[in-house]
Amino acid sequence: MPPTPAGPPKHSFDQIRAAAIRHLGYQPCLWQIKVVEAILKRDGDVVCIPATGSGKTLTFWLPLLFRPNGIQLVISPLNILGQQNVAQLAAMKINGITITAETAIPKNFQDIEDGKYSVIVRNVETLMQQDGGFEKLWKKPDFTSCLISLVWDEGHCVSKWAGFRPEYKEVSRLRYLIPRSIPFVIVSVTLPPAILSDVMNILQVLPKKCTIIWRSNDRPSIHLVVREMKYAMSSYKDLAFLIPDGWKPTDPPPKKFLIFFDSISESIDAAKFLRDRLPLEYRHKIKWFNSEMSTQFKDLESDSLKSGKIWGLSCTDSFGMGLDLPDILLVIQWRSTCDMCTLWQRLGRAARELQLVATGLFLVEPKRFDLNIAKAEERAAKRAESSKKA
């Protein structure tokens, strides 16, 4: 009988912690070590549900310290997140590349095949492209044998975004294209049971062969405020507190802020309303940000917000999810137009720097409040009674 192949070497918590401190200058938390240990075991898939801003991306890179020729593939829902990851890797002297529609060229795929990069970040469209660069790489054992894991960053998008990004519905094909021993790592702050179950079904994750590290996603440093809107929504006057009446250049600027909308047109109109409250030479301090903007604009304005050149953004989900901007002090959700998972992702952009305290403000239409609902029902009952008498 042939000998049973040896499994991957085991790594103790102390070894993982020491390697992180020695090579990356970080002391990982216990939950981060558990994630890395589960990835390196290679005996099943891994699900990690942390809090926003708690350091989930560190768990993507730590396994590289134990596989010098290894490769981490990260599937990111937004290109801007991939660019952020590559910048972080460069600071740690780890070679990474983001593959987008613009960078999916033969030279880059040849460099990947030659082992030039330890981390490859790409979106689901380039990953699943028929006859694309990755489909060719899956057929090369020299490449697949180097894969440590496939990381599904913001993994809830596998379920939540499949309706308008159909490639997410096809990702189960990967199970038949690469060795099953390569673990899928699903990471997201917002994976309630129903969404987690759907994601696991789509990715063909077997519950009995899956390690789940589930932490509280509470953010005590973010003060949550729910405020009833007082003005007509089309006026955007409920945002006027950001730029008080008669603001002058000698007045203090607003706290660095993000306002989230589920409508591009509303985000633009709101930004214009706020800009009109500023002197002409200060109106560039507030911008709108959405999926219709160019990649160059998104990169520039993200950097401008980080550096303080601008004060705030009126944005959609094209900005925010997963981005590491440490000093956002106010996040506003405009109207109750999103689900709780989306709301928590957005509010979680605040106070990423641990010593900061921020505010998450939820501006809600009057019709959503119990008292107003009761009044509306009472009026409806009276109308019904009047119509009966008539």
Q: Give per-residue pLDDT as tens, 219-260.
A: 999 999 999 999 999 999 999 999 999 999 999 999 999 999
pLDDT of residue 7: 57
Burial of 170 (0-12, 13-18, 19+ CB in 10 A): middle
pLDDT of residue 384: 84
Say if residues 256 and 309 touch (Cβ distance below 8 Å).
no
pLDDT of residue 336: 97
pLDDT of residue 162: 86
Question: Which SS3 state, helix, strand or coil, does residue 116 take?
Answer: coil
Contacts of 276 by beta carbon, 8 Å cutoff, 6+ apart? 283
Q: Which residue type is seen at 129?
A: Q
Residues 67, 69, 73, 78, CA torsion sign: positive
pLDDT digits (tens, 9 = 90+) for 180-189: 999 999 999 9
Say if residues 189 and 49 touch (Cβ distance below 8 Å).
yes
| Cα distance between residue 78 and residue 373, in whole Å | 38
| Cα distance between residue 82 and residue 74, in whole Å | 8
pLDDT of residue 8: 67
| Pairing of the two strands 286-289 and 119-122 | unpaired
The candidate with the shortest Cα–Cα distance to 211, out of 59, 9, 43, is: 43
pLDDT of residue 382: 86
User: What are the structural domains of the chain?
Assistant: 13-214 (3.40.50.300), 222-368 (3.40.50.300)
The interaxial angle of helices 79-91 and 295-307, nearest 10 deg, is 50
Burial of 324 (0-12, 13-18, 19+ CB in 10 A): middle
pLDDT of residue 1: 38
Quick one: which H or E segment has residue 334? strand 330-334
pLDDT of residue 5: 44
Contacts of 219 by beta carbon, 8 Å cutoff, 6+ apart? 51, 52, 53, 347, 348, 350, 351
User: Which residue ranges of the chain lie beneath pLDDT 70?
Assistant: 1-8, 320-323, 390
Q: pTM of the entire structure?
A: 0.87
The candidate with the shortest Cα–Cα distance to 87, out of 257, 324, 280, is: 324
